[in-house]
Amino acid sequence: MSETTTGAGAPAREPVRAPARDSARDDASPGVPPAAHPVRLTVNGEAHDLAVDPRATLLDTLRERLRLTGAKKGCEHGSCGACTVLVDGRRVVSCLALAVACDGREVTTIEGLAAGGRLHPLQQAFLDADAFQCGYCTPGQIMSGVGLMAEGRARDDASLRDELSGNLCRCGAYPNILAALRRTTGIEPAPDATRGDDRLRAAAGVDEIARDARDGAGQGGA
Amino acid sequence: MTPATTFVGSPVSRVDGPAKVTGAAVYAADFDIPHLAHASIVQARVPAGRIAAIDTRAAEAAPGVLAVMTHETTRRLPWHPRDPRPGVDPKAGERLHVLQDDVVRYDGQPVALVVAQSEEQARAAADLVRVDYAPTAARTRFDVAYARAPSEATAKAGRPGDTSRGDPEGAFAQAPVRVDVPFVQPREQHAAIEPHATIAAWDEDGRLTLWDKSQWVDNVRTEIAHVFGLAEDRIRVISPFVGGAFGSGLRTWPHVTLAALAAERVGRPVRLALTRRQLFTNTGFRPHTESRVRLGAFPDGRLTAILHEATGQTSTYEEYAETTLTPARQLYACPNVATRYRLLDMNVNTPSPMRGPGAATGELFLETAMDELAHALGMNPLELRRANLAKTDPDSGKPWSSNALAACWDQAAARFGWADRPRTDEARRAGRERIGSGMASAFYPAHRAKARARVTLYANGGAMIQAATSDMGPGTYTALSQVAADALGLPLEQVRVEIGDSALPPAPAHGGSITMATLGNAVANACAALRETLGADGEGDLTPALRRSGRDSAAAEGASSPGKEAQEYESAAFGAVFAEVRVDPELGTVRVARLVGGYDVGRVVNPKLARSQCIGGMVQGIGMALSEEAVFDRHCGRVMNANLSDYLVPVCADVGALEAFFVESDDRVFNPLGVKGLAEIALCGVAAAIVNAVYDATGLRMREVPVTPERIVTAQAARGR
Amino acid sequence: MSRYLRPGSIDEAVGLLSTDAALRIVAGGTDVYPSLGEAAARAAFLDIVRIPGLRGITRENEAWRIGAATTWSDVVRAPLPAFFDGLKLAGREVGAIQIQNAGTLAGNVVNASPAADGTVALMALDARVEIAGSDGRRVMPLGDFVTGVRSVALKPGEIVTALLVPDRPAKSRSSFLKLGARRYLVISIAMVSAVVDLDDAGMIAEAGIAVGACSPVARRLPALEARLVGVPPAQAADVVLASDADVLSPIDDVRARAGYRRDAAITLVRRTLAACAEAAR
């Protein structure tokens, strides 16, 4: 079965949402010290003039000030990719970007991806390929995938794996994430992937792509 | 509309998928609670001792700080005793009474809490708290010489110190073929990408609401009620989405108490989100466990003796023990079996169940030893397993409610191409790499527990299913929707599932692979009860019956609990895993080219999601085999890689071709829905199959995981000497 | 008190630095912010990333100038001669793509981590560091600039403005290999970058080989480089001796022990040279 819009299934399974809040809270936040720095962030097409703590990361600013909680906090050190957003079209880890440094930039988050209630093709591909379980890393995975498509660096299956390796998925959905990306980018599985889902690039920094699965049985899976 | 559609068994997409791909799914730290303050933990920096002095003045003077709490300034809570919950809590000892005394029991223990207007301010001020310690002797080295037998309480809970059937020592001594295999499984971390976080809010009437990351909201409610001396109905716990947990969300960790204390102190809602570093010492972990397996066999492969000893670490304040040795007693037919389980008290935080607790570790030990035995016998490792199939439970003598292990072996071997695996040195060579193939069996006992579920049917054809269970990723929302849609005769999209709220009908832990066998049946029973209430017949859309009754809606509850089958039968999920690895002998790197797993998990409610879960278990198994270890420094008693840069969970590029499938199985003896359970079995056997494949590739017996590049090279050098 | 300043020119940046020694220079920020740890209270930032002319790669005289605000992704995408391949391969291994899109080469150098992938490749290429201060500009070799773990020869009030990579002959090839305990997104156990210039007869005329994560600062292997002169590239790997690792001083840490690092480094040197030879075919 295939879902085509963000509204699919609603209202029967409306997700539990955080209660809506008045966004006027921005500058009334008692947590912002006097040294707050004025910035303009354009987020998902909407301009926000904010006064931010110079220490505040883009991630915290999105989550705490703009209430865009799609970008997730996983490690706060750029080690997991859960906070990935696009800044001026390029993916970055928003936990390592200071909000002040993004003044005047265009930021795209997972909330800005579905246009007019219609899912981005990669969001749809994630649904179809079951490219997640718990869903926590998913916004980062999808934003990373969208950035990957825009950057145009991934040309084959092996580089696709590398390009996706900045986003950890502890539920281990990688084969399905790859399947979603392949479907959306049109990148073919490596030609000798005759079994299972895909194949693997050579280990630990060595260079070649070694021959993988032997000829034999067909595509697996249940 | 064709309500006859059967959703159970069909590969529908996740019903919560749209929320997850759009960022709309709300996890614990995402809730927008007005007037929120933020807390940050100060952690002990010695493994044992007393707090000599705490200077909080600088922190109190820092911008935005609302309160600094220490053991000196925190009120004494009642900490009413409560019975340990099966499968979740340690069986003896006492939980950490956080900020109640000056004793430091492990490095990383919370010793103070700073509450401030913003998270940045709370963390900055936490760094200003000065703590002086009077250190005492600490046990930070894993030394089995200090191990002890488990307590009686632990032994009674399925983790006995010593068991024996037949004459294991005598049979081993007389066995024509013997192996004696030591092995080390290091401390592993759950490392879910969502950090644990709790928001606590008290209302004017003293009622507490907790938005918490939890696999068991009822347990959080009960625990906090006991800690604070409150009636359970004064507490509500909300946790609609869980960003992975793998067991870390089963217990109620000290930070939940801290969040509630902080909110009480500052008179505002408080959020306490653990940092990645703090997660290593403020939630549990899979304990470091050392093992010795001795196997004796006849030349035809039949086992005559299994002797398995294991020592696991626990903390100094609680006795956490695992069912590490259950597989030795139950997986294979063998007349003479002894197990010996010991515990080592260390200055660490208490371990906790992590996916496949006990079994995943025990089967790593047992199945690598079985591989050594196969080679000692000159026998195909698959044939060795076949020669020892347990047709009934060898421990109790009871029949299995179902057992398709033989089908798992056969079908997975066929899909993998086991018979055609490269067996000569020449065939095992691929450029500078060596190809290796290995296999292992998988086994995890199946249980179910007591639960209730409520169904409400509306005249417009919508239905609501409610229960206080959870969905940390396997697909509870989806699978319960499927069961209900079938039972009510409704299209799937008209069923809504509400879980993760302690206000809903009670449910057991979302763990131990029991959720569908438990809740699935409760939901089916609730729907059947509703059908009976409305006087409708056995199947089809129930909405017309409701409309005929003239009501706008009708509700019913259903319960489910284990029946006689739990006494009369043994139930378990089974599996077989085959691995192909490529080893670069010069650098020692190992990559997993292929994994094939065949599983007997009973009826599969949703093959699409079930496959995802098995593939996920394989990925975690790759980490277990090759890269995951919380490196514990024996000198300072601290985890040295408490971050995601050096605690290495697999990345996309580490993962080869993964194939998971399910053999025909439908266990209606175990429960009416026919499911057995899936989460734990998906990890079991994976690491063993990989380690066995490394042997096949290199001839190296790696008896410690993770099998890092350095360990391969070191083992080669040792062989060369 | 935390502050954030964004100068419009190098001169302005140098002026601000001279009045406030507490300012931390930030470009991509990917190393600065995590190093603040959980105590960012007093951080003061001087963000140079938008200073005009500071981002991009240009050829000037006999050198390629990589502006201090140039990101790793900029380098990976730039059309550059083949001898930059090693640097590009290193760039692809610096953290995740998300890091490469924000992190700069200059930042990687100034951060002076022993495990900095980029510094190794730059060192093999004889890169120099261009520095601006109140006394004007100066240039020094990268090998002298990085003085130790998290330590560089940057005087108070100075700022790195560019990395300068000398041009090499058309027949020059380079490569880079990294070893970690997982395939990607991993801090190196060891990494090697090599560049070989070929003469008209196809023999190695000059070689640059640098090893990282095996000493406080990435090290060149001068003895090996000397032996490689006149050797056909296809035989370069055979020239490598175990004793070439003697200049390294690896340590035991959570990622690997010293002995393994030393052995792995030599293996990586051989393979990197083989990759250069492959590229030269």
Alpha-carbon span B62 to C42, nearest angstrom: 11
The reply to whether B234 and B256 lie within a common domain is: yes
Give me the residues of B, 45-64, that contact A with CB < 8 A: 63-64
Q: Is residue C154 part of a domain?
A: no
pLDDT of residue C30: 87
**Interchain contact A110–B (C-beta under 8 A):** yes
Q: Residue C41: which pLDDT band, with cuts at 50, 70 and 90?
A: low
The reply to whether A65 and A129 lie within a common domain is: no
Q: Is residue C177 part of a domain?
A: yes
The reply to whether B318 and B439 lie within a common domain is: yes
Contact C4 A98 (CB under 8 A): yes
Scanning every residue of chain B, which has its alpha carbon at the shortest distance from the alpha carbon of C264? B587
* Count of other CB atoms within 10 angstroms of residue A143: 30
Q: Is residue B8 part of a domain?
A: no
The reply to whether B489 and B426 lie within a common domain is: no
Contact A171 B651 (CB under 8 A): no
Q: Quick one: average pLDDT of B362-370?
A: 98
Quick check: helix, strand or coil at residue B311?
Answer: strand
Give residue-wise pLDDT tens across range B203-227: 999 999 999 999 999 999 999 999 9
Give residue-wise pLDDT tens across range B447-459: 999 999 999 999 9
Determine contact, residues B354/B188, Cβ cutoff 8 Å: yes
Q: Identify the residue among B276, B432, B710 best suited for mutation to test binding to C, counting C beta carbons within 10 A and taking the highest.
A: B710
The reply to whether A107 and A145 lie within a common domain is: no
Which of A97, A153, A207 is nearest residue C29 as measured by Cβ atoms?
A97
- B505 is in which domain, residue-wise? 17-27+448-561
Q: Which chain A residues have a beta carbon less than 8 Å from that of B615?
A: 172-173, 175-176
Give residue-wise pLDDT tens across range B624-675: 999 999 999 999 999 999 999 999 999 999 999 999 999 999 999 999 999 9
pLDDT of residue B87: 83
The DSSP line for B352-369 is ---SSTTHHHHHHHHHHH
The reply to whether A47 and A107 lie within a common domain is: yes
Q: Is residue B6 part of a domain?
A: no
pLDDT of residue C1: 56
Determine contact, residues B280/B641, Cβ cutoff 8 Å: no
Q: Pick from A83, A112, A141: which residue ends a domain?
A: A112
Which spans in B192-343 are helix H? 217-228, 254-266, 276-282, 326-330
Whether residue C2 has pLDDT greater than 50: yes
Q: Is residue A65 part of a domain?
A: yes
Alpha-carbon span B452 to B262, nearest angstrom: 34
Q: Is residue B1 part of a domain?
A: no
Determine contact, residues A79/B645, Cβ cutoff 8 Å: yes
The DSSP line for B178-204 is EEEEEEEE--B----SSPPEEEEEE-T
* CATH value at residue B39: 3.90.1170.50
Query: CA of C59, closest CA in chain B: separation in Å?
Result: 36
pLDDT of residue A217: 26
Residue with tokens 């057995």: B676
Contact C179 B627 (CB under 8 A): no
The reply to whether A134 and A163 lie within a common domain is: yes
Determine contact, residues B520/B510, Cβ cutoff 8 Å: no
Q: What is the DSSP letter of C242?
A: G
The reply to whether A103 and A125 lie within a common domain is: no
Alpha-carbon span B76 to C33, nearest angstrom: 38
Q: Is residue B2 part of a domain?
A: no
The reply to whether B227 and B99 lie within a common domain is: yes
Nearest to C273, CA basis, from C156, C193, C155, C213? C193
The reply to whether B261 and B384 lie within a common domain is: no
Alpha-carbon span B573 to B621, nearest angstrom: 17
Q: Is residue B5 part of a domain?
A: no
Q: What is the DSSP letter of A183?
A: H
Nearest to C189, CA basis, from C120, C106, C96, C97? C120
Q: Identify the residue among C42, C177, C183 best suited for mutation to test binding to B, counting B beta carbons within 10 A and taking the highest.
A: C183
- C275 is in which domain, residue-wise? 172-280
Contact C185 B651 (CB under 8 A): yes
Q: Is residue C180 part of a domain?
A: yes
Give residue-wise pLDDT tens across range B124-163: 999 999 999 999 999 999 999 999 999 999 999 999 999 9
Q: Pick from A86, A112, A138: which residue ends a domain?
A: A112
The reply to whether B128 and B42 lie within a common domain is: yes
The reply to whether B127 and B212 lie within a common domain is: yes
Strands ordered across the beta sheet of A37-43: A46-52, A37-43, A106-108, A84-87, A90-93
**Interchain contact A14–B (C-beta under 8 A):** yes
The residues that bridge with A177 in the sheet, in sequence order, are none
The reply to whether A78 and A49 lie within a common domain is: yes
In whole numbers, what is the pLDDT of chain C averaged over residues? 94
pLDDT of residue B35: 96
**Interchain contact C33–B (C-beta under 8 A):** no
Q: Is residue A17 part of a domain?
A: no
Q: Which chain B residues have a beta carbon less than 8 Å from that of C99?
A: none
pLDDT of residue C35: 63
Q: What is the DSSP letter of A62?
A: I
Quick check: helix, strand or coil at residue B496?
Answer: strand
- Percent pLDDT > 90 in chain B is 97
Q: Residue B267: which pLDDT band, with cuts at 50, 70 and 90?
A: very high
* CATH value at residue C240: 3.30.390.50
Q: Is residue A195 part of a domain?
A: no
Q: Pick from A87, A112, A137: which residue ends a domain?
A: A112
Quick check: helix, strand or coil at residue C97?
Answer: helix
Q: Is residue B254 part of a domain?
A: yes
Q: Is residue B208 part of a domain?
A: yes
Q: Is residue A172 part of a domain?
A: yes
Alpha-carbon span A122 to A140, nearest angstrom: 12
* CATH value at residue A76: 3.10.20.30
Q: Quick one: average pLDDT of B16-32?
A: 98
Q: Identify the residue among B6, B13, B20 best suited for mutation to test binding to A, counting A beta carbons within 10 A and taking the highest.
A: B20
Q: Residue C40: which pLDDT band, with cuts at 50, 70 and 90?
A: low
Q: Quick one: average pLDDT of B26-47?
A: 98
> Is this complex's ipTM strictly greater than 0.85?
yes
The reply to whether A84 and A151 lie within a common domain is: no
- A165 is in which domain, residue-wise? 121-185
Alpha-carbon span B709 to A198, nearest angstrom: 24
The reply to whether B616 and B706 lie within a common domain is: yes
* Count of other CB atoms within 10 angstroms of residue C246: 11
The reply to whether B427 and B468 lie within a common domain is: no
Whether residue C33 has pLDDT greater than 80: no
* CATH value at residue B299: 3.30.365.10
Determine contact, residues B120/A60, Cβ cutoff 8 Å: yes
Question: Which helix H or strand E contains B444, and what residues bound it?
Answer: strand B433-445
* Domain total in chain C: 1
* Count of other CB atoms within 10 angstroms of residue B156: 11
Q: Is residue C91 part of a domain?
A: no
The reply to whether A108 and A127 lie within a common domain is: no
Query: CB-based burial of residue B297 (10 Å sphere; 0-12 exposed, 13-18 middle, 19+ buried)?
Result: buried
The reply to whether B302 and B377 lie within a common domain is: yes
Contacts with B436 (C-beta within 8 Å, 6 or more apart), sequence order = B428, B580, B581, B582, B583, B693, B694, B695, B696, B697, B698
Strands ordered across the beta sheet of B130-135: B103-104, B49-55, B130-135
The reply to whether B408 and B348 lie within a common domain is: yes
- Tell me, yes or no, if B680 is annotated catalytic: yes
Alpha-carbon span A207 to A191, nearest angstrom: 18
Strands (E) located in chain C: 3-5, 24-26, 44-47, 57-60, 63-67, 128-133, 136-141, 146-148, 151-152, 159-166, 172-179, 190-198, 204-212, 219-220
Q: Which chain C residues have a beta carbon less than 8 Å from that of B587?
A: 179, 264, 267-268
Residue with tokens 């009908």: B505
The reply to whether A108 and A44 lie within a common domain is: yes
Residue with tokens 């707050």: A36
The reply to whether A106 and A170 lie within a common domain is: no
Q: Which chain B residues have a beta carbon less than 8 Å from that of A124?
A: 21
Whether residue C34 has pLDDT greater than 60: yes
Q: Is residue A181 part of a domain?
A: yes
pLDDT of residue C42: 64
Q: Is residue A207 part of a domain?
A: no
Quick check: helix, strand or coil at residue B377?
Answer: helix
Catalytic hit among B580, B629, B680, B704: B680
Scanning every residue of chain A, which has its alpha carbon at the shortest distance from the alpha carbon of C192? A205
pTM of the model: 0.94
Alpha-carbon span A153 to A165, nearest angstrom: 14
Q: Which chain B residues have a beta carbon less than 8 Å from that of C185?
A: 651
The reply to whether A104 and A142 lie within a common domain is: no
Strands B638-639 and B110-116: unpaired
Whether residue B427 has pLDDT greater than 90: yes
Alpha-carbon span C45 to B432, nearest angstrom: 49
Q: Is residue B664 part of a domain?
A: yes
Which of B24, B481, B659 is nearest residue A221 as measured by Cβ atoms?
B659
Per run of 10 residues, the mean pLDDT along chain A (length 222 residues) is 32 37 38 72 98 91 97 96 97 95 97 92 98 98 96 83 95 97 87 35 27 25 26
Q: Is residue A105 part of a domain?
A: yes
The reply to whether B533 and B593 lie within a common domain is: no
* Domain total in chain A: 2
The reply to whether A99 and A125 lie within a common domain is: no
Among A199-208, B392-401, C136-145, where is mean pLDDT lowest? A199-208
**Interchain contact C275–B (C-beta under 8 A):** no
Alpha-carbon span B100 to B90, nearest angstrom: 20
Q: Quick one: average pLDDT of B431-439?
A: 97
Whether residue C31 has pLDDT greater than 90: no
pLDDT of residue C22: 84
